Amino acid sequence: MRVAICPGSFDPVTYGHLDVIKRATRIFDRVYVTVLNNPTKNPLFTVEERLDFLRRATADLENTVCEYFEGLLVDYARQRKAVAMVRGLRAVSDFESEFKMASMNRNLNPDVETIFMMTSGEYAFLSSSIVREVASYGGDVSKWVPGFVAVALQARLQERNLERSRQL
- Which is the catalytic residue, given 2, 41, 81, 100? 41
Is residue 160 included in any domain, yes or no?
A: no
CATH number at residue 95: 3.40.50.620
Q: 55, 78, 90, 156: which one is catalytic?
A: 90
- On whether the CB atoms of residues 52 and 29 are closer than 8 A, the answer is no
pLDDT of residue 33: 98
167: confidence class by pLDDT, cuts 50, 70, 90 = confident
| Residue 93 among the catalytic residues | no
**What's the pTM?**
0.90
Look up the domain containing 65 and give its range: 3-125
- Residue 75 belongs to a domain: yes
**For residue 145, is it within any domain?**
no
Q: How far is CA 16 from the centre of its chain?
A: 9
Number of residues that make up the chain: 168
pLDDT value at residue 13: 97
**97 counts as catalytic:** no
Residue of 9, 80, 87, 128 marked catalytic: 128
Is pLDDT of 168 > 70? Answer: no
**What's the domain count of the chain?**
1
> Is 128 considered catalytic here?
yes
Instruction: Give the pLDDT confidence score for residue 136 in this predicted structure.
Output: 92
| Catalytic residue status for 143 | no
> Are the C-beta atoms of 89 and 95 separated by less than 8 Å?
yes
